[in-house]
Structure 1
Amino acid sequence: MPEKTQHWTESLFDSVYALYKTAREYQLAHRATQLLAAQAEFDRHKPHEGRITLERHAAGHGHPVMKEPHADALFDLGRIHGDAASEMHRRYEEAALLFASGAAWAVRSVQLGHTPPTVTFQTDQYERPVQHRLSITGLTNYVGAELLNTSYELLVHRLSASDRAVHLAEQRNLADHEAGEFHDAVDTAMGIADSAFSYGLLAQKAVNFVLLEPRRAHEREIALARAAARTDQPTP
């Protein structure tokens, strides 16, 4: 059977929802790596003092080496899980920003009268999607507009803190107050991923709102087409 063609309103929402599911997967993965990294912190464990002896390879030189395998394992696990948590945080942040900006793009596109079947991104020189701008305006009749704007402002605040942290990191010989400002900015920027995800959820609801009228118009078209088909049927 031929595949049923979706109306653009449904495929567009599915496109936004796919961005949500992507960000959600990375969010869960990030939380899992955070938990593993916390559990692997060296200070949480009491390394066993038992040792092993490593004899040098026949072709090597030097005396046997004493090792504490449990302590070595704890150091290794802390490093591995810490690196994984950092990498997953980066991926979660990227996915959350794509979700939020993709939903915002969908809202703006519908507001402009466009009928995009999917969210479309430009790519950078590495063929990675480049996020759209995050702002959404013009939702004067939308009950969730105030909450959406508050979430947007918090996200912008965190993104600005990230830019400030990068700027300060590039400076030499920071004054004491600048060093404190740097650490504060880093702490604030660490919340970008969660803020972007929260804003994306609200923007996704706004997508549903702006699609209400196009969906109704499509339903009216279907009803008229069915009525016309019944009228055109021959009378027995």
Structure 2
Amino acid sequence: MNTQYARPWFEDLTDSVRALGEAAREYQLAYAAALSLQTGVEIDRRQLHDGKVAAQPSAESVGWASVPVSRAPHEHAVFTLGDLYRAQASKLQGLYENAALCFASGCAWAISHVQDGHNPNGVLFHLGDDSRTLLPWAGASLRIKGMERYAHAHQLNAAYDRLARCLDAAGYAEDLDGPGYVSDAEAGWMHDALDVAAGIADAAYAYGLHAERAVRYSLLEPRRQYLRREATDAADA
């Protein structure tokens, strides 16, 4: 007879944070592909064919006798694709940033709950208004504490500091872009801040990778305790 055992909670928690990392990676790849496509149709990188065609508007659309118009098919295609790729890249950037922040904050959430003595079998998030989008944890909950004995604590903290700078820059730019007059100097500061804030997604993903390793570190003791109990139970059987 086959006896099935429930998986220990820390295995499910490990899978939970790994799934967050895989999701962020998928969006990262898609965003990079969209940027590549967008770059490929930039007008200064392309040699547009200057051939023209004549196009006859329908009488119904103009309401009077139509006159043929000239069109440049290749130019139209390049500009149309540029608009499409820019819109897609912008959307994918937002999805990548959200997924990366969920990855990073989900790892931080997992570690803090393990440190508090809880046994979560998965990361908990709130859902957005669409009941589909995960809302990443923000603010102080992103910093991972209690890692003084962790061998890679320096890299973990450095990755957090990079992400914090990007998030602070985003907040600063938002404050400058508030209602009211924006001076030329403030406009320059806002532009510089937005350049830094553009790195949020990559910084969050990098922090998530470091934090995921820290999750595994935080689970070493729960794993040891579990294995000791398993060994004791087997000896008593």
TM over 0.5, shorter chain: yes
Selected match of 1:177 from 181, 185, 197: 185
Selected match of 2:91 from 87, 91, 97: 87
Provide the C-alpha distance between the structure 2 equivalents of 1:210 and 1:19, rounded to a whole number of angstroms: 18
Counterpart contact for 2:98–2:135, Cα < 8 Å: no
- Secondary structure at the aligned position of 2:142 is classed as coil
Q: Does 1:17 align with 2:4?
A: no
Selected match of 2:77 from 50, 70, 73: 73
Q: Does 1:210 align with 2:218?
A: yes
Q: Does 1:120 align with 2:124?
A: yes
Q: Does 1:193 align with 2:226?
A: no
1:129 Cα deviation from its structure 2 partner = 2.2
Q: Does 1:130 align with 2:138?
A: no
- Secondary structure at the aligned position of 1:46 is classed as coil
Please give the root-mean-square deviation of Cα atoms over the aligned residues, in Å. 1.5
Question: Which residue of 1 is the match for residue 28 of structure 2?
Answer: 27
| Cα 1:81–1:176 shift into 2, 3 Å | same
Provide the C-alpha distance between the structure 1 equivalents of 2:15 and 2:4, rounded to a whole number of angstroms: 16
Selected match of 2:235 from 204, 220, 227: 227
Letter in 2 for 1:220: R
Provide the C-alpha distance between the structure 2 equivalents of 1:129 and 1:38, rounded to a whole number of angstroms: 30
Letter in 2 for 1:68: A
1:2 Cα deviation from its structure 2 partner = 7.9
Q: Does 1:108 align with 2:112?
A: yes
TM-score by length of 2: 0.92
Provide the C-alpha distance between the structure 2 equivalents of 1:115 and 1:165, rounded to a whole number of angstroms: 39
- Secondary structure at the aligned position of 1:113 is classed as coil
Q: Does 1:153 align with 2:161?
A: yes
Deviates more, 1:38-47 or 1:103-112: 38-47
- The runs of 5 or more residues in structure 2 that have no matched partner are none
Question: Which residue of 1 is the match for residue 53 of structure 2?
Answer: 52
Write out per-residue CA displacement over residues 160-199 of structure 1, whole angstroms, 9 at most, x where no aligned residue: 1111112222244322221110110110000000000000
1:43 Cα deviation from its structure 2 partner = 1.4
Provide the C-alpha distance between the structure 1 equivalents of 2:3 and 2:43, rounded to a whole number of angstroms: 59
Selected match of 1:164 from 172, 176, 180: 172
1:150 Cα deviation from its structure 2 partner = 1.3
Counterpart contact for 2:169–2:196, Cα < 8 Å: yes
| Cα 1:4–1:58 shift into 2, 3 Å | farther
TM-score by length of 1: 0.93
Deviates more, 1:169-178 or 1:199-208: 169-178
1:79 Cα deviation from its structure 2 partner = 0.7
| Cα 1:8–1:135 shift into 2, 3 Å | same
The sequence identity of aligned pairs, in percent, is: 41
Provide the C-alpha distance between the structure 1 equivalents of 2:4 and 2:44, rounded to a whole number of angstroms: 57
| Cα 1:2–1:89 shift into 2, 3 Å | farther
Question: Which residue of 2 is the match for residue 233 of structure 1?
Answer: none
Letter in 2 for 1:189: A
| Cα 1:4–1:75 shift into 2, 3 Å | farther
| Cα 1:122–1:56 shift into 2, 3 Å | closer
